Amino acid sequence: MTQALIERLEAIIVDLPTIRPHKLAMHTMQRQTLVILRLRCSDGIEGLGEATTIGGLAYGNESPESIKANLEAHFAPLLIGQDACNVNAAMQRLDKAIKGNTFARSAVETALLDAQGKRLGLAVSELLGGRVREGLEVAWTLASGDTARDIEEAERMLDLRRHRIFKLKIGANALEQDLKHVVAIKRALGERASVRVDVNQYWDESQAIRGCQVLGENGIDLIEQPISRINRAGQVRLNQRSPAPIMADESIESVEDAFSLAADGAASIFALKIAKNGGPRAVLRTAQIAEAAGIALYGGTMLEGAIGTLASAHAFLTLRQLTWHTELFGPLLLTEEIVTEPPVYRDFQLMVPNAPGLGLSLDEERLKRFRRP
Ligand code: MUC
Ligand code: MG
């Protein structure tokens, strides 16, 4: 094969409006900010990647602005002139020189895979070993902040056959108020839907003991990150006593975190996120740790747009087990797109293109309109 070299990296910040405010315990989103990476190669092929977080620095320790700055100042000089066809070698070069920065790393790994897939005429899922399922069932997050509005939204999603798994974002309100909110939604939806919660680390252990008990007894299927990632011993205790399974999300900031959580027995489900592991290949290493430890899997999101969503989807399609399905609904939260063909959601599933690479192209006119000056 002719060798292609990496020629140029361009990181673009894009601000896109959301369909409604999205209320999480740590931040209310009024829009979503994506960092899009364009990686140009000497054979004329361009790979696309995305590094997207939630609420600036409210969620993790990389912001859109720091991701862009680090891609330009630290990642680009290490990558330019390197073989664009060898993803392992390029990522290993970054591993040697750069600590952390998994969001930026994920954008690079995605863009290299997209470029290589386009070059070889293979979908990213094929480059990752091949898909073992065609579609991915997708949960929807109810996060308007209002119980009646959330029930109405869930009913609409069921009618449209778009979602039948709902995740409720709680933790910002008083414990009893949040519990009432969740139980009311579960009662309204009954057996027609799976209802889960994400506390985003906002309970202390004493609140979590009661919260997990009440939610477990009221038919809530899963409790995501009830307490701080720092309180490992508390997570182990909760994992032993909660009637509903506990999922680790913020606790996983690297593949190594996944290993130590598994070793400690701190969760029975892992939320897989390409951004928090360093890319679609990296997230599969976390999945393998989980499988070896008997931990179930869930395909998570940082509310990425189409590029990050499909990059995650290509990886998740290759998983042997995905017991808790996915929440790859990021594009549906946005009112505008910057790709020519937005991802398709049908019959509760995200349909993943089988075209070369991620199966996406940028809409240059829209990118120009929404990119930050
Ligand atoms: C998170 O904490 O899981 C995923 C869905 C959503 O609404 O927020 C994200 C982040
Ligand atoms: Mg979460």
CA of 335 relative to ligand 2 center, distance in Å: 22
Token output for 10:
């361009």
Note whether 114 and 361 are within 8 A (CB): no
Q: What is the pLDDT of residues 312-355, one digit of tens each?
A: 999 999 999 999 999 999 999 999 999 999 999 999 999 999 99
**Pocket lining for ligand 1, CB < 6 angstroms:** 24, 54, 141, 143, 169, 198, 200, 249, 300-301, 303, 327
What does DSSP say about strands 269-272 and 296-299: parallel, antiparallel, or unpaired? Answer: parallel
Summarize the confidence of residues 369-373 as an average pLDDT: 96
Note whether 226 and 267 are within 8 A (CB): no
Summarize the confidence of residues 214-227 as an average pLDDT: 98
Judgement on whether residues 100 and 131 belong to the same structural domain of the protein: no
Work out which ligand 1 atom sits closest to the CA atom of 141.
7
Active site members: 169, 327
**Does pLDDT of 103 surpass 90?**
yes
Q: Is residue 300 part of a domain?
A: yes
Q: Which helix (H) or strand (E) holds 155?
A: helix 147-159
Judgement on whether residues 163 and 295 belong to the same structural domain of the protein: yes
- Quote the domain boundaries for residue 308: 127-351
What sign for the dihedral angle of Cα 237, 242, 247, 249? negative
Note whether 75 and 9 are within 8 A (CB): yes
Judgement on whether residues 324 and 192 belong to the same structural domain of the protein: yes
Ligand with smallest separation from the Cα of 23: 1
Q: Percentage of residues in the chain with pLDDT exceeding 90?
A: 98
Ligand with smallest separation from the Cα of 168: 1
Number of domains the chain contains: 2
CA of 328 relative to ligand 1 center, distance in Å: 10
Q: Is residue 337 part of a domain?
A: yes
User: Which residues sit with Cβ closer than 5 angstroms to ligand 2, an ion?
Assistant: 198, 224, 249
Judgement on whether residues 326 and 180 belong to the same structural domain of the protein: yes
Ligand with smallest separation from the Cα of 32: 1
Judgement on whether residues 215 and 267 belong to the same structural domain of the protein: yes
Q: Is residue 358 part of a domain?
A: no
CA of 141 relative to ligand 1 center, distance in Å: 8
pLDDT of residue 134: 85
For ligand 1, atom 7, name the residue with the nearest CA.
141
Judgement on whether residues 155 and 220 belong to the same structural domain of the protein: yes
CA of 249 relative to ligand 2 center, distance in Å: 5
Question: Which CATH number belongs to the domain containing residue 69 in this structure?
Answer: 3.30.390.10
Q: Which helix (H) or strand (E) holds 196?
A: strand 194-198
Q: Is residue 319 part of a domain?
A: yes
Work out which ligand 1 atom sits closest to the CA atom of 54.
10
Summarize the confidence of residues 74-91 as an average pLDDT: 98
Q: CB atoms < 10 A from the CB of 4, how many?
A: 17
For residue 97, give the DSSP letter: H
Q: Is residue 346 part of a domain?
A: yes
Angle of helix 102-120 versus helix 306-316 axis, rounded to 10: 70
Note whether 142 and 220 are within 8 A (CB): no
Note whether 114 and 45 are within 8 A (CB): no
Token output for 353:
């293109």
